[in-house]
Chain A
Amino acid sequence: MIVTQDIRKSFGEQQILKGINTSFHPGQCNMIIGKSGSGKTVFMNCIVGLVIPEEGSILLNDRNIVPMNQKEKSVLRKEMGMLFQKNALFDSMTVEENVRFPLDMFTNMTMSEKSERVNFCLQRVNLPSANHKFPSELSGGMMKRVALARAMVLNPKYLFCDEPNSGLDPQTALVIDELIQEITREYQITTVINTHDMNSVIGIGDKIIYLYEGEKNWEGSNKEILHTENEKLNDFIFASEFLKEIRKLNNRTI
């Protein structure tokens, strides 16, 4: 479980995060949504320890990451997996080497044990026959799967996904969403997803927090988000004229 308490962060004169309190639970897909520049990425970077907030605490199963030094963070990070927006696959390594890298670095498993684990993870993300391909030979969806397999290879307690559907077609995006949700539930991972994709939010968002100008403006589930009266959130969700029309029709039906 992740608990954030009064997180504040500024860059120069500009205050990016203005005191965020929330909690993310295991086995749930926790979504962070908001307009560009609302502080989503900074908030996630604070949780993973890449950015240090000026105030507040971030508890990962009661361990506060904020005051930790680099060595302590390194220990904690072995419990984390992260899916990057641009995948961040190591382009000099094959798919198998990419997924095996955390095992090579942090475990004393034998080569056959590592191969078994790598193959299991690749099969789990429905990519069983790409072991010897390089990232440049893969499609966007396949690269996401490899990145997901690498993120889960060490059995993480926490999974962080930064714009996991960025650059994917709607169908592939749906597959990736379902995969993240399945893995989250199956292994009881605390998953935090930073996204703009409302299909994802409504599809798998067990818990959603909406950030507006560095503050938490709304919190709820995917069942509640479509019926909220929060004007700022509605302006964000139903941004286009098309969606506004659908909302009107929806309200009439109700």
Chain B
Amino acid sequence: MFILDALEGFGKYISMLGSIVAKPEKLSMYWRETMRQMYDIGVGSFWIIAIVGLFIGGVTAVQFSNKLLTFGFVPMWWMGSMTRDSMFLELAPTISALLLAGKIGSNIATELGTMRITEQIDAMDIMGVNTRAFLLGPKILGSLLIVPILVIVACLLGTLGGALAGELGGFYTWEEYKYGLQDDFQPQYVRLMFIKSYVFPFLITSIACYKGFYVKGGSLELGKASTDAVVYSSIAVVIANFVVAFLFL
């Protein structure tokens, strides 16, 4: 029964994604809505991403520095490359995605779910609006346009956090760290970061849209949809993280 329900849900999700791709009734309205979503996601999440990025970079540097110091024979400029690679490969895209799953995932599911139970979506349907395309499309597109920029911010600030932590803790100098940053730079790590920066927001927003758009019932179901959106999109991000790394590294 669980498998059948899961398959039915997956089919409905795929069908929803298919119906989003449609000719807009009016392009300017769709573009305006996409801009609004980009603003909400981008500006609304900037500070949390920036703060978390900075401190994740710092804590990575502190913890690895302590480990390297116990070894003794490893040059401390390695910390530059280790922090850089950790941020590119894992911390910036994945931690940002998990934070965004909590923040924008629940926002989107609640917004759409409220619109559903208060008949706002039915009202748009009756007007002749393609509600899937108009309500879901700009959210997904907006996240695809803005989240990679947030990931770049998290990556840069994380790298900066590593430098600051090293200086503050006296583990290494800025010159050592800079040398490490330039050592053995792998362009495919940046490519992998960008692949993740597009795959993760797509999963987060589309799953949240699915959970919110098809809510039935009242406030209890709305709360469950919001929680499910966060849980399922976080699980999807973690699984996709493994798949992307496996395929592209």
Contact call B126/A105, Cβ cutoff below 8 A: no
The docked-state distance in angstroms from the alpha carbon of A75 to that of B127 is 9
Interface string of A57-85 (1 = CB under 8 A from B): 00000000000001001111110111011
**Stretch of A86-94, A169-177, A186-194, A204-212 with 4 or more beta carbons under 8 angstroms from chain B:** A86-94
A11 part of interface (Cβ distance < 8 Å): no
Q: Which residues of B contact A29 (CB under 8 A)?
A: none
Chain A residue contacts of B123, Cβ below 8 A: 82, 84, 88, 90
Question: What interface size band does chain B fall in?
Answer: 10 to 19
Find B128's partner among A50, A84, A91, A106 (CB 8 Å cutoff). A106
State whether the Cβ of A33 lies closer than 8 Å to any Cβ in chain B.
Answer: no
Contacting pair B25 A77 (CB below 8 A): no
Assess whether B25 is in contact with A106, with CB atoms less than 8 Å apart: yes
Kindly count the residue-residue contacts between A and B in the assembled complex, taking CB atoms under 8 Å apart. 57
The answer to whether A102 has its CB under 8 Å from any CB of chain B is yes
Q: Are A48 and B126 in contact (CB under 8 A)?
A: yes
- Taking each of A50, A88, A160, which has the highest tally of chain B beta carbons within 10 Å of its own beta carbon? A88
Is A104 at the interface (CB under 8 A from chain B)?
yes
Check A77/B26 contact, CB under 8 A, given A82-B123, A86-B118: no
Contact partner of B130 (CB less than 8 A), chosen from A74, A76, A78, A160, is: A74
Point out the residue from A75, A78, A86, A154 that lies within 8 Å of B119, measured CB to CB.
A86
CA distance A75 to B120 in the complex (A): 19
Please indicate the chain B residues that have their CB under 8 angstroms from the CB of A76 in the complex.
128
Q: Which residues of A contact B (CB under 8 A)?
A: 48, 50, 70, 73-78, 80-82, 84-86, 88-91, 101-102, 104-106, 154, 160
5 tightest CB-CB pairs across the interface, nearest first?
A77-B128, A88-B123, A88-B119, A74-B128, A82-B126
